[in-house]
Every structure is written in structure tokens, then in C-alpha cells.
Structure 1
């Protein structure tokens, strides 16, 4: 039994991961601002904690829970994300900051809180996007989102190097189009080739085993070309 922390657990890929991890006997701390979807599942070994990763008091609550209840974290999946589909010239600085607060700074804050509970066998999996991969196809209107996901990729590589001796492994998955609520918000009417539960299964398997083979690596999880 491993101790798993998942952000963005209230819908889409995050909610599907909660189900999959618990079905295989692991303990899950499900973090999201809206905890009702997780609570309604009534799953054993799942704790739903209301958390806004952009807020220090929320992150401190997560730290307190792990310190008092678990003492350790085996896997952290930074799945929470925010998106803005808006022309660059119309995007305010406040909107840019909001995207970066969730996609970059919130990830930084949570990792800092949980690192004391992770050892060499631990695994941090950051969920990025193909839009953040250098040289990949880019879409107008996603300057804040894609650039923040690019920053997350570089952050992952840096942390893997910094903690390679005695800390957890850090890897990042750049996802292609997946049929989620977030995709529908950004591109109404678009039908993705991959369902949320299918991608969730891939991420669950990767997070449990891939740190034996990868550290500091970017894996592009997309069946589209280019």
C-alpha cells in the first residue's frame, strides 16, 4: 500500500485517478477546491481535503495532515491546472498571474511542503501539456497556459537534478488532447481521441513504476502527429 497525493481531484483525469489508485489498494489524499465529487464516491482509503494550491494556508493544511496521519508520501501527482484561451493582447497581467499561480507556483509550494515526507523511492509526477513542449504545435490564445506548462517542464528537470542523490524522482508527462471538462472549456465541441479514464490509467501505472527507469524526463503522451 502506497500513500498517494493527487491535486485537481474533483473532475476529469484527477477524479479517475482517485478511483484507480484506491481500487488497487492504495491510500489517497485527494486535493481540490471542490471535494464533493470525491466524497460522493464513498471510497475506502480516500481522504478528500479542500485545497487551493495557490494559498499558503491550504498548503499548510496538507502538510499538517501528512505529518499527523501518514508520516510519508510515496507518490505526488501534480494534476491540477488552469487554462486561459484568450488572445495575448487581450489578456491582462492578472489573468497571466492566475494561470501561473496554479500551473507553476502552486506546484512549487506543494512540492516544498511534501518533500520532507518523501525519500529516494518516492516519485513526483508533474502533468504538463504538449503545448508546453518546445517545437510542438502551438495554438493561438494559449500563451499563458502553454508557457506555464513549459515552465513546469523545466522545473521538473531542475528538481530531478537537485534531488537525484537522496530525494524522490521527478518526471513530467506532456499530455495531448484528452476528453475532459478543461478541454471542453478551452475548445468547445472538440472531440479528443483519448478519454479521461484512459489517460488516468496510464498516469497511475507510470507513477507507480516509472521512477525505476526515469528521472528528470519529459514524456510526450500524445497519439497525434506532429
Structure 2
């Protein structure tokens, strides 16, 4: 992919994206960069994060900052926000995308298995949102958070065995989104959620090998850009966009 835009619809924006070394997170980084934003990325896998960041920096010089660490750690999240401010400036948007899963039936899970998924998927999103809420508000720029849930976290959709902790975490992300949206109003922060169905990612192939997905990460990234664009989505907060695709 080549650099497509230096001043698109997100010019002047600084977007922080978790779980951004690959998959939906990386696609979000590319989409925001194409629309003129600067991005700050984080992943716990250093080799993948460094490779992705270097590739993006070649295409978008000076517009990418990155950090390696686990968002379930409050100390890591605090350091990531500090580095973002030093490298790029005050963040205007946050995409909480980082997620893991444990494919074990309930009777086979340890408490550690359960808590590990909740720490990354839910607590990590809370910690990042908390830091974002504490950040000084740029006077001329609206702010936005987009949380990535899943159709697995929506009532009445199909669920799969072995993913109870993942499903619980994604239901909780929808609830967290609605709660943050209420508190964010006073701070001028809109908070919305995307609940994708099957998306062609490495994570899906590991979790449900038999499933074939029509949607690709860039499809979800386009929605994230829309939700962070004040001109296009200013009336939306506390909303969840459910993404069904033909499979």
C-alpha cells in the first residue's frame, strides 16, 4: 500500500490505537493515516509492532509513534500516553482494539485463563479510556473513543464453544461503551462501539478454524474512521455498530 493522503478528513487528529501490530488494529492505523491523521500504536509483541511501525513510517514519515507493552498494565498505559504526547501531541481519538482469547471449555479453564482474557480485553480498554478522559482537551478539536467489541458480545447472536471468557469480555465492552458515553458528555468526548462479525484475521482463524469470513480488517477500519470524524458522526455517542456480512 502506498501513501494516499496527506490532508484528508482526519487532518490534525492524533489517534491512539491498541492491538495495532496486525489485523483490525493495523488496518485502522493505515486508514487514519490515509486520512491525514497521526497515529500512536501499541502491541505487546515487540517484533510485530516494530515491523509494522517501520513500514508505516516509510509511507507516512513523522506521523507514527509506537510503544511495546501490555495494555492490561496501568503503568504501561500511562507510559504509552506520555510517549504519545512527547512524540505527536495531545491525543484526540482512541481506538480500543486489543484483544485475546482462550479456546477452552468452561470446565477446562483455570481462573488464570479467565482473568487473563478479561484483563486484556476489558481492563485494558478501561485503563486506556481512563487515561484518555484524564487528558487535557485540545480546545479546537472534538474527541472520540471507539471500542471494538464483537457480534459475540451482542445478545441473540451465535456463540461458539470454548470462548466463554471472550464472549463475556465483549458483552462487557458494549456496557462499558454506554457508561463511558454518559460520563464523556461533560468532557466533550463521544464514545461508540463496533461489533464486527467474522473478519478475516489471524485471530479468527485460530479461534474458529472452520469459519470463512467475507469481511476484511479494512472494512472495520472505515467504520472507525467514520466514528472518529466529528463532521460525519457528531450525533453518535453510546452507539454500537453491529457489522453483519455475507458469509
Same fold, TM-score > 0.5, yes or no: yes
Q: Bigger CA drift: 165-174 or 34-43?
A: 34-43
Partner of 1:36: 50
Give CA-to-partner distance per residue, 1:62-106, whole Å, 9 cap, x none. Answer: 132244344422110001111122211111110010000011001
Count of residue correspondences: 225
Question: Pairwise mapping of residues 25-104 of structure 1 onto structure 2 (< 5 A)?
Answer: 25-33=36-44, 34=46, 35-41=49-55, 42=58, 43-44=60-61, 45-104=63-122
Distance 2:179 2:13 in 1: 25
Partner of 1:3: 14
Q: 1:136 deviation in Å? A: 1.8
Partner of 2:215: 194
Q: Bigger CA drift: 111-120 or 6-15?
A: 111-120
1:149 and 2:170 are equivalent in the alignment: yes
Query: If the length of structure 2 is used for normalisation, what is the TM-score?
Result: 0.84
The gaps in structure 2 that reach 5 residues or longer are 1-11
Give CA-to-partner distance per residue, 1:28-68, whole Å, 9 cap, x none. Answer: 00111232232331332011211210122211211322443
1:172 and 1:217 in contact (8 A); partners too: yes
2:133 and 2:184 in contact (8 A); partners too: no
Supply the RMSD in Å over aligned alpha carbons. 1.9
1:169 and 1:211 in contact (8 A); partners too: no
Distance 1:126 1:202 in 2: 11
What SS is found at the alignment partner of 1:25?
A: coil
The gaps in structure 1 that reach 5 residues or longer are none
